[in-house]
Structures are given as C-alpha cells and as structure tokens.
Amino acid sequence: MAESHTTHAHTGLAHHFDNMEQQKEAGTLGMWAFLVTEVMFFGGLFMAYILYRASYPDAFASASSHLNWKLGAANTVVLIVSSLTMALAVYYSQIGNRKLLMAMLVLTMILGATFLVVKAFEYNDKYVHHLIPGFGFQWDGAGNPQNVQMFYWIYFAMTGVHALHMIVGLGIMAVILYMAKRGRFTPEYHSPVEISGLYWHFVDIVWIFLFPLLYLIGAHESH
Amino acid sequence: MAEHIVPIKTYVIIFLALMVLTVVTVLAATVDLGAFNTLVALSIAVLKATLVVLYFMHVRYSSRLTWVFVVAGLFWFGIMIAFTLSDYVSRPWIPVVSGQ
C-alpha cells in the first residue's frame, strides 16, 4: 500500500482515483460545473442588459458611442491572442516542453495584464468625463441622462466583474507558472494547466460578448 | 486511451478565424442595418464563442458527459432569458385593471 502510494505521488495521481484518465475527467467536469455557475452569474447581468436596452434603445446607443471602441477592439485582440498562448501552454504541457510551457504562461499573463491596464485607462476617462454612475454623473449628449446612466451602471457592473475575473485568472496563472517552474507537470500529469486554461478561455468568451454589446451598439449612428 | 493532443496548426487556424470575425464585427457595426445590427453582432459572438469552446477548450474532443454539462448550462441560461422575456414582452398584452 505504501509502495503504490509513493508511485501515485510521483505520477500525480491522487489516491481517491482509479487512474489518470478518471482523475482528468473528474477535474474537467468539476471545472465545467463551475463554469456553468459562471454562465448563470454573468447571465443575470446579460439579462439586465437585454431588458434595459430594450426599454431605452436610443439612450443606450448614445451612451455606447461615447465608449472608445478602438480600445475595446484592441482589448478584444489582446484577449484572443492570450487565449491562443493559453492553448499553446496546454499543448506544450502535453508534449512535456517545460521551457515553452513557462514562456506561454508568461505571455498569457503579460497579455492579461495589458488588458487590465487598457481597462484602467478607459475607467479613468469615464471618471474624468463624470460618467461614473451615482457619483456626480453628468451627461449632455443625446438621450435621457437617467437612462444613459443606466447604461453606465451596466457597463461598470459587467466590465468590472469581468476585470475581477481577469485578476483572479492572473493569480491562477501565477500559481500554474510556479508549479511548472518546479517541474510538477509531465505529459502524463498536466490537468492543472488544462483546467486553468478552461477558466481563462471562459473569461475571454465573456469579453467576446461584452465588446459588441457595450462598445458597438451606437457605432453606425455616431458619424 | 491516449489523450487527444490538438495540433498547433488547429489552434492557429482557430485564432485567425477569431481575428477575422472580430474585424467583421467592427465593420458590420458601422453599417446601419436597423434591428439586424444586434442580430449580426450576436451571431458573430456566438460563432466565436463556439470556436473557443470546441477547440481552445477541447470540448470537441471531450467526453459525452462534458457535453451534457456544457449544453445544460446553455439550456438553463436560455430558460432564464426566455421566461423573463415572456413576462416583459407580454405585459402590454394584458389590459391594465384600474385601481380604486
């Protein structure tokens, strides 16, 4: 018993699983179960967006055209590239290339941090232009200011929660990078890389929806 | 059973598709299509999300049980939207009963 336990510790197989395949399947399913709760979590916010935009279409289009779609698009590209580097990180963990695995993790983290820095500049612009809802909100553009403020409530709630997920993602990647550095991953055992990747891609998907829904709805009217 | 390793080529193709679709989203938003602007934007976003889920997140190569989890999540999300909208959309259909 003690002997097999040592073997397990070496391969990364936890004692309550029969084999590596079962362990990987359980881990993947666990992460997907969590991601389903995340779909519900963001889903509520999307529901609020749908209802308020349906109620105040003109105010939402007007408010949206004040967002900098170029920064939004740039951040979309940054996140998609980070998803590619994340996918490559999983690939290099599968073939057992520790060096490139670590390089891809570092790239993913740099891109994630870049996203947050751009987001910070955007938030600062909203602060300078008195567009923080509830804190001296001012609006002299088209549309009812109350309804425009509703757009900005939803904008800050959705992008804020998304940014929080990015920050958590960076923390997770730091742990994975540390584990990779310690040589914890092998072609037989690399589930943590793969499962963390699922989370990272999910956060990317949320942004794939946020970008057109927040930044682009007034684009054909603002010229 | 050996683990399925997605080749780098597949990842790069999916990445390029996501980039092209991002450009299409931006271009489509600058054209006034009326109500169809939202439909086009959402369709492209759903397509991009599907590519990410199937290839980057390996669901295409995952077990049936993983599929069940993913589809169940989307199905429940659909229930929330459909039932909420059925309320909001149908409210004007019912005549308002005036109070005292």
Q: Is the CB of residue B22 less than 8 Å from the CB of residue B47?
A: no
Task: Look over chain A and give the mean of its residue pLDDT values, rounded to a whole number.
Answer: 92
Establish if A12 belongs to a structural domain: no
Pick A220's closest partner by Cβ from B18, B37, B76: B37
Establish if A167 belongs to a structural domain: yes
- Candidate ranges A130-144, A195-209, B26-40; pick with highest mean pLDDT: A195-209
Res A96: pLDDT: 95
Domain range enclosing A169: 20-215
Q: B59-83, pLDDT tens digit by residue?
A: 999 999 999 999 999 999 999 999 9
A47–B contact, CB cutoff 8 A? yes
Q: A154-188, pLDDT tens digit by residue?
A: 999 999 999 999 999 999 999 999 999 999 999 99
Q: Is the CB of residue A218 less than 8 Å from the CB of residue A177?
A: no
* The token pair that represents A103 in the structure block: 């390089």
Displacement of CA B89 from its chain's centroid (Å): 22
ipTM at complex level:
0.91
* The token pair that represents A163 in the structure block: 């940014």
Establish if A9 belongs to a structural domain: no
Distance CA A24, CA A30 (A): 10
| pTM metric for this prediction | 0.92
Nearest-Cα distance to chain B for A136, in Å, is 31
Q: A72-107, pLDDT tens digit by residue?
A: 999 999 999 999 999 999 999 999 999 999 999 999
Q: Which residues of A touch B18 (CB under 8 A)?
A: 80, 83
Instruction: Collect all residues with Cβ–Cβ distance below 8 Å to A140 and sequence separation of at least 6.
Output: none
Establish if A131 belongs to a structural domain: yes
Q: CATH number, domain at A44?
A: 1.20.120.80
Quick check: A29 and B66 CB within 8 A? yes
Q: Is the CB of residue A156 less than 8 Å from the CB of residue A133?
A: yes
A176 or B1, which is more confident? A176
Q: A106-122, pLDDT tens digit by residue?
A: 999 999 999 999 999 99
Picking from A207, A183, A185, the residue whose alpha carbon sits closest to that of residue A196 is: A185
Q: Could you give the number of structural domains in chain A?
A: 1
Distance CA B25, CA B69 (A): 29
